[in-house]
Structure 1
Amino acid sequence: MSLEKLGKLYRTVVLEHAENPHHKQTMADATVSGALQNLSCGDEIRVFMKISAAHVQAVSFMGTGCTISQASASMMTDTLCQCSVAEAQHCCQSFFALTMGQTVTQSAQQQLGDAELLASLAEFPARIKCATLAWHAALTALKGGQTNE
């Protein structure tokens, strides 16, 4: 795929997720949540998860922020829903590695889905925090975060 086509795909997917975010809602029956904010730009995210039998049954988010933070949060909900807790933690770590310009396995890239497109942010260090904010909040929730029981 040419760089021009890849750039257009990236813009299209990111804008679609930012303008029509998936799973952007509170979750009354969440069992854990994690909240973070990026003090350097003002992005705020709270991730809600319903975890049962070490499996992510549902995931959603609420928050405000730039296009990249909102798109990344939307992509994160698509990626982590229906994963085991261990798989979800691995996905978060793979996403962090990609955004830092590190290599991850082909299967990890595939599991990340649309979020894999954000690997190009490694070239823009100032935007990495925007992209990873929701994923860090999700990892906080996956590790017990704030219990909502």
Structure 2
Amino acid sequence: MSFNNLDTLYRQVIMDHYKNPRNRGSLDDESLTIDMNNPTCGDRIQIHLQIEDGKVEDAKFEGEGCSISLSSASMMTQAIKGQPVEDALKMSKLFSDMMLGEEIDPEGLELGDIEALQGVAKFPARIKCATLAWKAMEKGVNHEQ
């Protein structure tokens, strides 16, 4: 597949998550809630996590922002749901490395649609948009441990 076709496919995946977000909403009062924002562009995200026995049982998000930040939140909640906390943190590290333009080795972790955000690394001003939900998840998970 040529670069242009791959770039088009990635854009379609990002826009699909933006227009049809997965896991948008909140969880009950027993869940962990993390609020973060990106003052540079106004993105605001709230991540809701239900963590039991070292596993992310459920993950949802609410917020406002650009297509990159909201798509990333949708992809992130989809990827970490049902995963051990340790794997969710590994995915976050891989995602951060990918945003820095580094080659990544998923080490058996299924990244799925997240790979569509690779192109964001070419736009430094948008990296904070893409990583906002991931940073919120890390903050929440690290607070729980």
Q: Same fold by TM-score, threshold 0.5 exceeded?
A: yes
In 2: Cα distance, 1:33 partner to 1:8 partner: 34
1:139: which partner in 2? Answer: 138
In 2: Cα distance, 1:29 partner to 1:112 partner: 29
In 2: Cα distance, 1:31 partner to 1:128 partner: 28
2:127: which partner in 1? Answer: 128
Q: Which amino acid aligns with 1:53?
A: D
Superposition deviation, residue 30 in structure 1: 4.5
1:97: which partner in 2? Answer: 97
Scaled by the length of structure 2, the TM-score of the pair is 0.94
Superposition deviation, residue 86 in structure 1: 0.5
Tell whether the 8 Å contact from 2:11 to 2:116 is kept in structure 1 after alignment. Answer: no
Structure 1 unaligned runs (5+)?
none
Matched residues, number: 144
Identity of aligned residues (%): 37
Q: Which amino acid aligns with 2:121?
A: A
1:55: which partner in 2? Answer: 55
Structure 2 unaligned runs (5+)?
none
Question: After superposition, what is the alpha-carbon deviation per residue over 1:90-115, rounded to whole angstroms, capped at 9, x for unaligned?
Answer: 1111101101101211436x522111
Scaled by the length of structure 1, the TM-score of the pair is 0.91
Runs of 4+ in 1 over 6 A off after TM superposition: none
Give the root-mean-square deviation of aligned CA atoms: 1.3
